Structure formats: C-alpha cells, structure tokens
C-alpha cells in the first residue's frame, strides 16, 4: 500500500539483470539514452559469463557485473554478495531482462516495489521460461507481453503494462517470437517511464494503480 511514484531519486541508478541474449537490455539502454525514461542504466548484471548480453554491454559502454553463483555455497550467500555489489553501485531500481534465476523473498523485500520483470505472455497465463512456445502450442488466438513488479512468487506481482499480439493464421513459432520481442522492446521502456515519473500505489498488495 502507499504511493511510491515520484518519491525516489530524481535520477535513479538502474541495474539491468540478464542471463542470455540481452536484446531487451540493449533496447532499454538505447531508450534510456534517447530520454524515454529518467535515470541512468549504470550496470548490467549477469550470472552467466557466456551471455551475449555481455558483448552488447561492451559495445554500448555499459559496465558489466558478473557474480558467479558457482562460487558460493548457497543461494543465500550468492544473493548476499549480489546485494553488497548493488549497494556499491548505489542501485535504486532493478530491471529483469531475461534473468534466469529466481530471486529469493529476502532479496525481493530488499528492493520491494523497485524490481520490474518482463514476461512474454499475458500473465497470469503461461508462466515459466517458455511462455511464447506454450501459448503457441496451446493454440490461443491472442498472446502478448506483461511488465510487472516482482514479488515473492514466480511471474506474479502487480502488473504495470500488458500488450497484445494476435497470432496470425498459419504463423510459425519463429515469426511469433520475433513479433513478441519487438513489442517487448517498445513496451518495457514505456513501463519503466510510468513507474519512475507518475504517482501510483499498489492496492491490497496486488493491483498497481496510477494516481495521476
């Protein structure tokens, strides 16, 4: 409960978490540099030393923070080290962009209502890693993209924005994936701008509501 929009730093420090290709990371960086949302993406965080997102970050001049999960005896220790690094970077907001690790409730509470995630389906339908494929194989006529706050459950928290994609007759999975990704690249910066520039509240721990 309570409004959070407009209460944070004027130019928040933003970390983008990636594990793989990083196309949403690149789209966010380019949108940020064009002024589509305030603040600055100061670091790209990854758990995968082979992620192509690292190459994108180098090309874009964004620092990379790799924290190796295998170097820690437990998830708790890994997240403790990660939180320490985020404090050093003075990170205010976290944007998950294909980060394939589930954050613990302890971590989520540390950044309560300051972590956004993008998911390639119209949540609550088709949760999990293969949302596009699952929707396609199920035979739905409309799928899409969801940007939501991260809470203690997987692919759950309050929804900020959703966008729809109609599945075309005879369309294959590759074509659908391409159109979903194009929508992601447009919608994610829009959602970030909303939460950073507008006043809002979360009602009953679940519903995100714009106040102005």
Question: Tens-digit pLDDT profile for the chain (212 aa)?
Answer: 344 554 456 689 999 999 999 999 999 999 999 999 999 999 999 999 999 999 999 999 999 999 999 999 999 999 999 999 999 999 999 999 999 999 999 999 999 999 999 999 999 999 999 999 999 999 999 999 999 999 999 999 999 999 999 999 999 999 999 999 999 999 999 999 999 999 999 998 789 999 97
With respect to residue 96, please indicate whether it lies within any of the assigned structural domains: yes
With respect to residue 93, please indicate whether it lies within any of the assigned structural domains: yes
Q: What is the dihedral of CA 69, 73, 90, 201, to 10 degrees?
A: 90
CA-to-CA distance for 163 and 140, rounded, in angstroms? 15
pTM of the model: 0.94
Contact 159, 208 (CB under 8 A): yes
Note the pLDDT of residue 3: 41
With respect to residue 142, please indicate whether it lies within any of the assigned structural domains: yes
3-state SS class at 175:
helix
Note the pLDDT of residue 1: 37
DSSP states along 28-88: HHHHHHTTSSSSEEEEEEES-TT-HHHHHHHHHT--EEE--GGGSSSHHHHHHHHHHHHHH
Its domain, for residue 116, covers 13-199
* Structural domain count of the chain: 1
With respect to residue 193, please indicate whether it lies within any of the assigned structural domains: yes
With respect to residue 143, please indicate whether it lies within any of the assigned structural domains: yes
Contact 210, 150 (CB under 8 A): no
With respect to residue 204, please indicate whether it lies within any of the assigned structural domains: no
Note the pLDDT of residue 204: 85
CA-to-CA distance for 91 and 121, rounded, in angstroms? 28
Contact 150, 116 (CB under 8 A): yes
Note the pLDDT of residue 6: 46
With respect to residue 126, please indicate whether it lies within any of the assigned structural domains: yes
From the candidates 119, 148, 181, 185, give the one annotated as an active-site residue. Answer: 119
- Any catalytic annotation for residue 185? no
Note the pLDDT of residue 157: 95
- CATH, residue 80: 3.40.50.170
């Amino acid at each position: 409960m309570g409004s959070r929009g407009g209460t944070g730093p004027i130019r928040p420090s933003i970390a983008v978490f990636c594990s793989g290709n990083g196309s949403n990371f690149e789209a966010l960086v380019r949108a940020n540099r064009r002024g589509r949302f305030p603040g600055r993406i100061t670091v790209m965080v990854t758990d995968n030393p082979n992620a192509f997102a690292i190459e994108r970050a180098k090309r874009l001049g964004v620092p990379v923070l790799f924290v190796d999960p295998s170097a820690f005896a437990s998830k708790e220790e890994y997240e403790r080290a990660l939180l320490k690094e985020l404090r050093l970077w003075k990170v205010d907001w976290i944007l998950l962009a294909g980060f394939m690790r589930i954050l613990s409730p302890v971590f989520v509470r540390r950044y309560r209502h300051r972590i956004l995630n993008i998911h390639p389906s119209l949540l609550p339908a088709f949760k999990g890693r293969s949302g596009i494929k699952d929707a396609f194989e199920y035979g739905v006529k409309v799928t899409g993209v969801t940007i939501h706050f991260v809470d203690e459950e997987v692919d759950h928290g309050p929804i900020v924005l959703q966008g729809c994609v109609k599945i075309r007759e005879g369309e294959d999975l590759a074509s659908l994936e391409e159109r979903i990704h194009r929508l992601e690249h447009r919608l994610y910066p829009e959602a970030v701008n909303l939460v950073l520039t507008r006043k809002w509240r979360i009602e009953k721990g679940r519903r995100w509501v714009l106040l102005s």
